[in-house]
Chains A and B, each alone.
Chain A
Amino acid sequence: MTIGVVVFPGSNCDRDVQWAIEGCLNLHTRRLWHEETDLNGLDAVVLPGGFSYGDYLRCGAIARFAPVLQSLMDFAAKGGRVLGICNGFQVLTELELLPGALTRNQNLRFICEDASLHVTSARTGWLKAYGKEASLVLPIAHGEGRYQCSNDTLKQLQDDDCIALRYGSNPNGSVEDIAGITNASGNVLGLMPHPERACDPATGGTDGLSLLQALLS
């Protein structure tokens, strides 16, 4: 089993993701430079956090045109599992693999702290191990994590049971306290919190382990 980890110029959580997947879950990873197009042999792909292409213009706006993401569109369309963390979530919305958009935090600050989260939907494999209504704590570290969408999109997300995670105490002004969403078919998850930073007791907790394990579910 091999997990792809996309690396854009400006990604800075790619090694953390790799460390968590290899060191804590004992799985293989393959780093995918943004110019690569071959995703053959991968069981899942992670878009890590960071500042892809400097986040110029808008977070994720330039990354959307990376060759690796054109292949990722096909990969996701065939049901391949895709996990977008932080900047990776922003990229997934720009790609329109997930609806809505992420913009500047309401308080204009870069927020770096532990966040209490609630599992809103355990429908998909990503959060099944936690169970609906479960609480977990994951670190957040973002300046542009305020999830925004139209009322119609919000209703669609609710109707399709696609709101995966909510903040216990909304840190950034996101609509409906949304911290993470899936697509309707459930193979794509985007979230602002960092599960890879919560995979070893030495770094403050292991609440992120099951989520990364779900890359294989």
Chain B
Amino acid sequence: MIVPRYQARVLVHLRPSVLDPAGEATKCAAIRLGVDGISKLRIGKAVELDIDAPNEEEARRRLELLSDRLLANPVIENWSLELMDS
């Protein structure tokens, strides 16, 4: 039996209440470049992975555990999950 493979992308961002100084610095550079209209710029991380699991529900369960316990620190970060069939 072939175990399905899922492609996932976990996006990790600092919580809105936590200052993102790297984002602020990049915003300043964007303004110097002459790009107008940017009111918010926040930098996060994207983690891309492939995972083999019997079904989507199980893949999602494992990825949620991974995101919550390792990829993000819920004290200062939020995460979101995108899951696709490979």
Q: Report the minimal beta-carbon distance from B68 to chain A, rounded to whole angstroms.
A: 12
What residues of A have a CB within 8 angstroms of the CB of B8 in the complex?
A: none
Bound form: Cα–Cα A43–B14 in Å: 38
Interface string of B15-27 (1 = CB under 8 A from A): 0001101100100
> Contacts A93-B75, A101-B76, A148-B76 given: A108-B18 contact, CB under 8 Å?
no
- Which secondary structure dominates where chain A touches chain B? loop
Are the CB atoms of A107 and B73 closer together than 8 Å? no
What residues of B have a CB within 8 angstroms of the CB of A99 in the complex?
A: 75
Q: Report the minimal beta-carbon distance from B31 to chain A, rounded to whole angstroms.
A: 17
Are the CB atoms of B70 and A61 closer together than 8 Å? yes
Are the CB atoms of A104 and B22 closer together than 8 Å? yes
Q: Report the minimal beta-carbon distance from B78 to chain A, rounded to whole angstroms.
A: 13
What residues of B have a CB within 8 angstroms of the CB of A58 in the complex?
A: 73
Bound form: Cα–Cα A192–B1 in Å: 53
Residue in contact with B21 in the complex, picked from A100, A106, A149, CB distance below 8 Å: A106
Considering only residues 87-121 of chain A, those with a C-beta below 8 Å from chain B are: 93-94, 99-101, 103-108
Q: How many A-B residue pairs have CB under 8 A?
A: 31
What residues of A have a CB within 8 angstroms of the CB of B70 in the complex?
A: 57, 61
Residue on A with the closest CB to B71?
A57
Bound form: Cα–Cα A94–B18 in Å: 17
What residues of B have a CB within 8 angstroms of the CB of A168 in the complex?
A: none
Are the CB atoms of B75 and A150 closer together than 8 Å? yes
A205 part of interface (Cβ distance < 8 Å): no
Are the CB atoms of B14 and A108 closer together than 8 Å? no
Are the CB atoms of B75 and A149 closer together than 8 Å? yes
> Contacts A58-B73, A148-B76 given: A103-B25 contact, CB under 8 Å?
no
A173 part of interface (Cβ distance < 8 Å): yes
Are the CB atoms of B21 and A107 closer together than 8 Å? yes
Q: Report the minimal beta-carbon distance from A213 to chain B, rounded to whole angstroms.
A: 32
Are the CB atoms of A173 and B73 closer together than 8 Å? no
Bound form: Cα–Cα A99–B75 in Å: 9
Q: Report the minimal beta-carbon distance from B77 to chain A, rounded to whole angstroms.
A: 8
Interface residues of A (CB under 8 A from B): 57-58, 61, 93-94, 99-101, 103-108, 148-150, 173
Interface residues of B (CB under 8 A from A): 14, 18-19, 21-22, 25, 70-71, 73, 75-76
Listed A/B pairs (7) with beta-carbon separation below 8 Å: A57-B70, A100-B75, A103-B18, A105-B21, A106-B21, A148-B76, A149-B75
Known pairs A58-B73, A108-B21, A150-B75; list 13 more (Cβ under 8 Å). Answer: A57-B70, A94-B73, A99-B75, A100-B75, A103-B18, A103-B76, A104-B22, A106-B19, A106-B21, A107-B21, A108-B22, A148-B76, A173-B21
